[in-house]
């Protein structure tokens, strides 16, 4: 979260500029959610304000204290910059190259899905693999729910239904006890996923 007040100095070139305001926490968390966790009505602002960029050298990050040039191979950086795509997409690709995290993959998936781009297929597959690995390790409801959602969007309805129904038998481990407190709707979302799968509905849906 960046309030937009004050100045910030780029850790790469030293340029000083105004702080770019990000989404307010209540803008994000009080919005309805899509079943893949992207928030409704703030999609463009989410992507446009995700990262603060240096006006001088092109460094960017959640804050300019982060220096992408210390974390990415120059050839990889230049290759992405040369692509005929939006600046937002370039930043998402660069950050995923650096972090390769669940969130950076989700950001790309959300961006491609929201903008109806063919690349969504590639990133859906990567997320399916990632959430499968996570679920096999932790047996947590959130990984299960995200996996079910991705499989439903892919059209693998029978597999998704079988997985979704398994939520009733998940262990009450620390992951699931925490989720029961912080997101009590996980079970309701899984029940909705089952209904959608039975209708063979693979569209983006709001909870």
* Residue 180: predicted pLDDT: 84
Sign of CA dihedral 160, 164, 169, 174: positive
- Global pTM reads 0.91
User: Residue 69: pLDDT band by 50, 70, 90 thresholds?
Assistant: very high
């Amino acid at each position: 979260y960046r309030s937009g007040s004050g100045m910030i100095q780029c850790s790469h070139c030293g340029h000083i500029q105004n702080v770019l305001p990000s989404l307010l926490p209540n803008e994000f968390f009080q919005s309805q959610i899509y079943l893949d966790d992207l928030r409704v009505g703030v999609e463009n602002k989410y992507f446009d304000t995700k990262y603060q960029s240096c006006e001088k050298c092109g460094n960017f990050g959640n804050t300019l204290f982060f220096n992408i040039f210390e974390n990415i191979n120059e050839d990889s950086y230049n290759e992405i910059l040369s692509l005929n795509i939006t600046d937002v997409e370039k930043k998402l690709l660069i950050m995923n190259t650096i972090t390769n995290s669940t969130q950076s993959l989700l950001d790309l998936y959300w961006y491609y899905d929201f903008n109806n781009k063919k690349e969504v297929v590639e990133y859906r597959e990567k997320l399916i693999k990632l959430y499968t690995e996570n679920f096999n390790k932790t047996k947590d409801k959130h990984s299960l729910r995200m996996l079910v959602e991705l499989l439903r969007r892919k059209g693998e309805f029978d597999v998704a239904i079988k997985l979704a129904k398994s939520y009733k038998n998940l262990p009450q481990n620390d992951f699931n006890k925490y989720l029961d407190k912080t997101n009590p709707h996980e079970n309701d979302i899984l029940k909705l996923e089952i209904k959608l799968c039975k209708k063979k509905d693979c569209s983006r849906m709001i909870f």
